[in-house]
Amino acid sequence: MTAIVDCNSFYCSCERLFRPDLRDKPVVVLSNNDGCIISRSDEARKLGVEMAIPYFQARHIIEKNGIAVFSSNYHLYGDISYRVMETLRLLAGDRSKVEVYSVDEAFMDLDGIPEAEIHDYARHIRATVEQWTGISVSVGVAPSKTLAKLANRLAKEDKNASGCVMVLLTQEEQRLAMQRTRVDGLWGVGRAYAAKLVSQGITSAWELSNMPEEWAHSHMGGVTGVRLIRELKGQPALSMEEELTDKRMITTTRMFGRPVTTIKELKEAVATYISRAAEKLRRQQSAAGVVSVFIVPKEQLASADGQLKSTADLLSFRRSPSVSTHCVLPHPTSLTHELIKAATGLIDQLFENGRTYKKAGVLLSGLVPDSSIQGNLFVPKAENQHRFLMHTIDNINFSMRDDSVKFGASGLTKDWKMRQELRSKRHTTRWEELKEVR
């Protein structure tokens, strides 16, 4: 059997840890740039705050009800996440039995635990995590990952009845659970597939589980669809991923805090993002062979000929057209200044004078282990000095304050930086922001 342990309203729960006055009060957390609502407490949900909608659209409900609002504080969430995951590893007794799936959830391999004890074990996990970290979690258990996710979802839907734990041991329990779940609530079924399924008369997870594999192969993304059907039948088709593997691409993208019109600012932004991406690159000891950048022009309500855009165009803002290009480096590198040079060169190609931009991003790909170029006899000595410099900068930025040391190309004022007006303190990772108790 497999369990999924998922933190309840994770970001809100983290904020509440240091604000006990907000227990049982409505809370929401905003995305970067204070753009969207990305976490909400049960109390906020009951007041009608929807998930993933723009802040300004929910603002009237938030202000009317005095809902507490926070900008996202990833230093804090990352640290609390680590504590939750370490607790799970201790409970499992074997680190390889825990697969960290995202910042707020992990799969656990329960093989070896007698079925009669699984309910108690799941409740024990929940109680221990809450006691040790202060974070409330839900636990779903089933024969496959997809069914475990489904169980977890049902446990969350009615926390009073379930006690935040649901176990689907028998086929009968699994059938009932699938009959209660609509296809759009399944793990692996997004908007596009859900619409397709419903148009063919398949509305519940149970109905989907009874479709032939060949049908899934031709209509739901090939092997992906076949695996989904098998998982619903309780045949594990997705294995536990034990080791943390290196990323295959690294991206950094941000909305600007205000529209940007000059190439100078655009280059500063891209240099800043590349610096961040290069840090991530060096952390996993990789070097990048390809640098891509993209910039997103602010869409105009009227096109150049003065004609108003159609409603469909306006609604598709999420996929606002971006302009992108890439270049292959002469040799893979993890050195920030080389990456900055490549990326700002690409901006020269993309920038159009007179246009306004709202977002930019960089992507490092063609990643190879940095060791493959380390100690290369044919690279000049200066290269090794650069490597040492990077290492030193990373150490300073890690132990001191972010961006204590940075490249001049990143700019000094950064007027374009995102807004984060409501961020809480980094209570657990910065000495100067430690919580004081008198």
Partner DNA sequence: TCTGGGGTCCTAGGACCC
Binding site for DNA (CB under 7 A): 31-33, 35-36, 38, 52-54, 56, 101-105, 149, 186-194, 221-224, 247-255, 276, 280, 290, 298, 317-318, 326, 358-359, 361, 366, 418
Minimum gap (Å) between residue 15 Cβ and DNA: 16
CB of 58 to DNA, least distance (A): 11
In the chain, what's the furthest Cα-to-Cα distance?
71
Q: What are the backbone angles phi and psi of residue 129, rounded to the nearest 5°?
A: -60, -40
Cβ contact 38:24 at 8 Å: no
Q: What is the CA angle 303-253-274, rounded to 5?
A: 125
Nearer to DNA, 317 or 431 (CB): 317
| Type of residue at 24 | D
Q: Taking a C-beta distance cutoff of 8 angstroms, is the pair 288, 329 a contact? A: yes
Nearer to DNA, 373 or 418 (CB): 418
Q: Minimal CA–CA distance to 331: which of 378, 363, 388?
A: 378
- Residue 119 or 180 having the CB closest to DNA: 180
CB of 53 to DNA, least distance (A): 7
Closest approach of DNA to the CB of residue 106, in Å: 10
Cβ atoms of 49 and 58 closer than 8 Å: yes
Measure the CA–CA gap between 204 and 388, rounded to whole angstroms.
57
Question: Measured from the CB atom, is 32 or 65 closer to DNA?
Answer: 32
For residue 172, the minimal CB distance to DNA (Å) is 25
Residue 269 or 393 with smaller CB distance to DNA: 269
Choose between 28 and 186: whose C-beta lies nearer to DNA. Answer: 186
Provide the residue count of the chain: 438
For DNA, the closer CB: 255 or 422: 255
H or E stretch at 287: strand 286-297
Q: How far is the CB of 224 from DNA (least distance, A)?
A: 5
Place of tokens 């059997």: 1
Nearest distance, CB of residue 227 and DNA, angstroms: 7
Quote the CA–CA distance of 344 and 350 in Å, as a whole number: 10
1: which 2 tokens? 């059997």
Task: Name the E strands within 298-406.
Answer: 323-333, 357-365, 368-369
